[in-house]
Amino acid sequence: MSINITILIILILSTAFISGLFYVLLKIVYKKIDNRITDFEKKVSSDYNQIEALFSIFSVLKIDKTLPPFRGWAISPDFATILLNQILDKRPKIIVESGSGMSTILISYMLKKNNFGHLYSLEHEKNYAVKTENLLISHNLIDKATVIKADLIPFIINNSEYKWYDINFLKSDQKIDMLIIDGPPSSIQPKARYPALPLLEKYLNDDAIILIDDCKREEDHEIVKLWLSEFTDYVEEWYDIEKGAVILKKRV
C-alpha cells in the first residue's frame, strides 16, 4: 500500500513538474510570437510611411525617368520629403551635401522646380561620383548640380586628426544656405561626420540650415550633441522618422 502511495505521489509531482515546465515553455513561445508580431507590425507601419512619403515626392516633382532604389545606404523617402520641403520653403541659392546619390537627383529636381539654386555634392568614391554624374545627365539635371570628387584628407580639429572631404573648391566669400550631412560612412573613422560643422560653419549664411540623416544611430546622435555643445548659438529640431533626422539652425 505504501509503495502505491509513493508511486502516486511521484506521478503527481512528475505531472505537476511537467505541467509547470510546459507552462513556462508555452509562455516563452507566446512571448516570441508576440515579439514577432510586434516587429512585423512595426515593419508594415514603416513601409507604409515610406510609400506615403514616396507618393508625396512624386506628387511634387515631375520626374522624367526611373530612379535608383531608396533606403539602405540611400536616403529614405521620409527624409527626402523633409529635405525637399525645406528647399521648396527656403529657396536656397547654394546647397552643399556630403555624400552623393539619390539625394543629389531629388535635390536637383527641386532646384529645377524652383528655377533657382545650385547643389555641390561631395563624393570621395570615384565610382559613385561617376554614377551620380551619369544619373544627372540622364535626367537632364547636370546644370543643377556639380559632383565634387573630393578625397578624404586629414584635418586637425580640437587637437585631434580627422579625415573629411577636401573643401578647396569653396571660395572664402562663398556662403552656403543649406548643408546636408549624409557622409562619409562611419566605417572611415569614429565620429566620421563630426568635421562637417567645424570645417564649414564659417561658410554658412546666418540663416542657413543643416540637415543630418541617420540620427537614430548612437554615433550620429552623439555628434549632434557635440556640435550643440561647441556651437551654442544653434538649436536642433528632431524628426522621428525611420532613421531619425535633425535640423540645426541658429537661434533667432
Please give the pLDDT value at position 90: 94
Please give the pLDDT value at position 62: 85
CA-to-CA distance for 91 and 129, rounded, in angstroms? 25
Q: Are residues 80 and 170 in the same domain?
A: yes
Last residue of a domain, one of 60, 84, 99: 60
Those residues of the chain that have pLDDT short of 70 are: 1-4, 6, 8-14, 16-17, 21-26, 29-48, 70-73
Q: Are residues 15 and 77 in the same domain?
A: no
Q: Are residues 44 and 162 in the same domain?
A: no
Q: Are residues 84 and 27 in the same domain?
A: no
Q: Are residues 117 and 55 in the same domain?
A: no
Q: Are residues 5 and 68 in the same domain?
A: no
User: Checking DSSP bridges between strand 160-165 and strand 152-157, what pairing results, if any?
Assistant: antiparallel
Question: Is the peptide bond preceding residue 184 cis, with omega within 30 degrees of 0?
Answer: yes
Q: Which domain holds residue 36?
A: 1-60
The answer to whether the beta carbons of residues 181 and 209 sit under 8 Å apart is: no
The answer to whether the beta carbons of residues 82 and 239 sit under 8 Å apart is: yes
Please give the pLDDT value at position 165: 97
Q: Are residues 191 and 228 in the same domain?
A: yes
Angle at 235 between CA 232 and CA 236, to 5 degrees: 135
Q: Are residues 142 and 104 in the same domain?
A: yes
Q: Are residues 32 and 88 in the same domain?
A: no
